[in-house]
Structure 1
Amino acid sequence: MRWKASAGVLVALAFLIPAAPASAQAAQPGLDKTCQTVERTVYKDIRELITIDLETATDTEVRVVANQVLSQAKAESLPVLTDAVQKQLDGTPEGLRTFLRDDVENAWSVALRIMVGRTLTDAGKNVQAAAQKVLGAGSIETYLAYLNEGVYAARELDCASQPTPTPTVTPGTGATPSASATAAPTATSSDAAAPGGEGGGLPVTGANTAVVAAVGVAILALGGVAFWIGRRRRSRFVA
């Protein structure tokens, strides 16, 4: 029984492994018009949702399909188609059946064309060229191919051709000055010589220079007088 269970697991993995690359490819990110990496919007083929025979299907089956189309249109933010389907859902069953059979593809084509035109806003030259070519073709197949792949390939070319910006420092946007740059300037000899610290110099915190000099002169004078008196007394004693 164990080997049968193992074989079942291997068979399941065999079905899952091929599907993994396809899922990864569908989720591959792309570039937006500002060259920023974004998740792609995958535009599906609405026709693949209409798998019933609209002539013989019940009204309930027709309504289920219409709601599937509406849900996909909302997921892709498609203009025109979203409002058109909702309007028919609010109407009669026969009108909804006729719309899905005769008009849904036209509304969908117009919606896809509008989405292609929106990619031209602020677009580079490669995107503009690719979009104009698709708009000129005017088919659903070319719209889908462009919106799912072509626009992203063209944006990569436009982004790769953009010059690398050179960093510049402008007033108000540069780096914040460091503490050392904003510290008070060191005092120079000319600043220290200014009396009382005026003129931008540092304030004098020690004794006044003139007072110190006068005291020094007085001490020297007293010392000289004491030396002269002592010498004079010594001379008298000897005599």
Structure 2
Amino acid sequence: MRWKIRVGVLMALAFLIPAAPAMAQTEPSGLNEACQTVERKVYTDIRELVTIDLDTATNAEIRVLANQILAAANADSLPVLPDAVQERLDGTADDLRAFLKADVQNAWSTALRITVDRTLTGAGPNVKAAAQKALDDGSIDAFMAYLNDGLYAARELDCASQPTATPTSQPTSAPSATPSATTTVAPAPASSTSLGAAGGEGGGLPVTGADTATVAGIGGALLLLGGVGYVIGRRRRSRFVA
């Protein structure tokens, strides 16, 4: 009866505080993919959760540890690892113990590698170089160092090298169609055709120059001819009377 109570207490603790070391970690802020300041995401080192001897631990203690690892993997949004742990939790106690002793680190390493690969999407040159270095190393320590520190350091360099956005130039205002009070508007020159409009409408100027001389000459000739005709006619009348 006592062992059942003990198992129940351990299971309750597993679900209430599944990943206490992860919750205790605090990190400064960092930059995200858009170069915005955000809180850093801290990945849990699952090795620190293993505080029991896997060979001598009871089945209840093994199950508690497996639930802690599952909670940490889900909190870190890791692929592969949560499904692998849950599959062993649904199996026998011996399979679960063997998985924790031999295979959990392999599944965790695969999950970390995939997570590092995901950071390459839209990454800058410094992030790509740091990620590739971790992938070439291939160790869990290299993956964890990159995800918790190296990624943010490289991202700061990439964001710092981006050109700063220059303010857009203000468009110049179009000149107003209505002249201001201080603006002197020059009168538009009238066309030559409006000066000699028929009928004299519109207050056109009198015709001058060559056209005026011609009219004056014709008028003088007509006056001269009229005078000559008057004199000749008068002489004829005088002769007739005499």
Change (3 A) 1:165 1:67: same
Task: Provide Cα deviations, 1:21-60, integer angstroms capped at 9, x if missing partner.
Answer: xx99933110011101111111121011111111111111
Tell me the CA shift for residue 185 of structure 1.
Answer: 7.2
Q: Which residue of 2 aligns with 1:87?
A: 87
Matches within 5 A, 1:19-34: 26-34=26-34
Q: Which residue of 1 aligns with 2:188?
A: none
Matched length = 156
User: Structure 1: which 4+ aligned runs deviate by more than 4 Å?
Assistant: 184-188
Change (3 A) 1:25 1:168: farther
Matches within 5 A, 1:1-239: 26-168=26-168
Change (3 A) 1:24 1:168: farther
In structure 1, distance between residues paired with 2:56 and 2:38:
43
Task: Provide Cα deviations, 1:38-85, integer angstroms capped at 9, x if missing partner.
Answer: 111111210111111111111111000000000110110010111111
In structure 1, distance between residues paired with 2:86 and 2:57:
20
In the superposition, the TM-score normalised over structure 2's length comes to 0.60
Instruction: Give the secondary-structure state (helix, strand or coil) at the position aligned to 1:63.
Output: helix
Change (3 A) 1:42 1:25: closer
Tell me the CA shift for residue 167 of structure 1.
Answer: 3.0
Change (3 A) 1:24 1:88: closer
Task: Provide Cα deviations, 1:83-137, integer angstroms capped at 9, x if missing partner.
Answer: 1111111111111111000100000000111111111000000000111111000
Paired amino acid for 1:119: T
In structure 1, distance between residues paired with 2:102 and 2:27:
33
Instruction: Give the secondary-structure state (helix, strand or coil) at the position aligned to 1:27.
Output: coil
- Unaligned residue ranges in structure 2 (runs of 5+): 1-22, 181-242
In structure 2, distance between residues paired with 1:25 and 1:91:
32
**Equivalent pairs: percent with the same residue?**
65
Instruction: Give the secondary-structure state (helix, strand or coil) at the position aligned to 1:26.
Output: coil
In structure 1, distance between residues paired with 2:156 and 2:117:
18
In the superposition, the TM-score normalised over structure 1's length comes to 0.60
Instruction: Give the secondary-structure state (helix, strand or coil) at the position aligned to 1:143.
Output: helix
In structure 2, distance between residues paired with 1:49 and 1:127:
29
- Unaligned residue ranges in structure 1 (runs of 5+): 1-22, 176-180, 189-239
Instruction: Give the secondary-structure state (helix, strand or coil) at the position aligned to 2:28.
Output: coil
Paired amino acid for 1:157: L
